Amino acid sequence: GQQVMQIPQYQHVQEGEDFTTYCNSSTTLSNIQWYKQRPGGHPVFLIQLVKSGEVKKQKRLTFQFGEAKKNSSLHITATQTTDVGTYFCAGGSQGNLIFGKGTKLSVKP
């Protein structure tokens, strides 16, 4: 079946370092969404990318959607302790969303 693979599963960084998580789909996606789940919380929608090659920024976060609409990345510049949590990508396909397994980010002050 359709899958969205997300790597790495875990990432430990020193505060101030950059962080990137990657998602790859086995099929072409109609869109990709990114969510953040703080420890003990629920997933919260961050952003959606729809167009091939699209790049969007939210302050220190940069989101990219691949040209083939099969892969995406989230890059955080100069991480802060408030960035701690699990980041999920979710690929849109045939009216449904397929979630990656998430990348758990920890930030050491």
Rg (CA), the chain: 13
Q: Of 61, 74, 76, 90, which one interacts with another protein (CB under 8 A)? A: 90
Q: Of 11, 21, 25, 33, which one interacts with another protein (CB under 8 A)? A: 33
Give me the phi and psi of 33, to 5 degrees please: -120, 155
Q: How far is the CB of 25 from another protein (least distance, A)?
A: 14
The answer to whether residue 27 forms part of the interface with another protein (CB under 8 A) is: no
Rounded to an integer, what distance in angstroms lies between the CA atom of residue 21 and that of residue 42? 19
Cβ-based nearer residue to another protein, 14 or 96: 96
**CA–CA distances in Å: residue 54 to residues 26, 32, 49, 67, 69:** 19, 11, 7, 8, 9
Give me the phi and psi of 89, to 5 degrees please: -100, 155
Cβ-based nearer residue to another protein, 66 or 102: 102
SS3 79: coil
Q: Of 48, 62, 77, 106, which one interacts with another protein (CB under 8 A)? A: 48
* Size of residue set near another protein by CB under 8 A: 25
Question: Which amino acid would we find at residue 3?
Answer: Q
What are the residues binding another protein (CB under 8 A)? 1, 6, 9, 30-31, 33, 35, 41-45, 48, 50, 88, 90, 92, 94-97, 99-102
